[in-house]
Structure 1
Amino acid sequence: MSTETPSIPAETACHVLNMFGYGGYPAGRWGQQLLEVIAGADIENSARLAQGFPIEVQAVQIAKYDEDGIARLKAIANGQAAA
């Protein structure tokens, strides 16, 4: 099992930004539903979801909990930063 933090691709950052109403562009139906489930999950279930979808969980957590998370995701989406 890897202990490295996954890197968030620009596409995922765009999908998460869109879901939270900050631009970007929507994911497909399944991807959008996945992001909504992740965003609504409690801590225990977020940990479970992260086992299968570590990048998506990380991106949603950045948007929800990091003080500068939206700015960080915008920078990733624009190719100006890496997660």
Structure 2
Amino acid sequence: MHTNSPSIPADVAAHVLFHYGHDGGYQAGSFTTSLLTTIGMADPSNMDRLAAGFPEYVAAVTAIQYDPDGVARLEAIARGEVAA
């Protein structure tokens, strides 16, 4: 699985929060919504492939799925309180 931690921009954090039903986000366009669904379902090998083209989205989805503090972190990024 992809282990680098690229910076997560506020808009990416907001898209991921919305996609996973959390406060503080807003809906992305149709391509990005499909991308988020794909990243969420990817196995480690395909996650690495997706990270090559969309590292910020993969980092944000990984945070929300696997990091116990991921939601709070993404909310803070989306609010502009911290940089990822």
**Structure 2 equivalent of residue 22 of structure 1:** 22
Aligned positions of 1:35-54 closer than 5 A: 35-54=36-55
- TM-score, normalization: structure 2? 0.90
Gaps of 5+ in 2: none
Deviations 1:48-80 (A, max 9, x none): 110111111001000000010000000000011
- TM-fit CA distance, 1:12: 0.5
- TM-fit CA distance, 1:5: 3.6
Cα distance in 1, alignment partners of residues 73 and 27 from structure 2: 18
Aligned residues: 80
**Structure 2 equivalent of residue 74 of structure 1:** 75
**Structure 2 equivalent of residue 64 of structure 1:** 65
- TM-score, normalization: structure 1? 0.91
Cα distance in 2, alignment partners of residues 59 and 32 from structure 1: 13
Cα distance in 1, alignment partners of residues 74 and 28 from structure 2: 15
Gaps of 5+ in 1: none
**Structure 1 equivalent of residue 12 of structure 2:** 12
Cα distance in 1, alignment partners of residues 16 and 5 from structure 2: 18
**Structure 2 equivalent of residue 55 of structure 1:** 56
Deviations 1:1-48 (A, max 9, x none): xxx742111000000000100021110000100011001111111011
- TM-fit CA distance, 1:82: 1.0
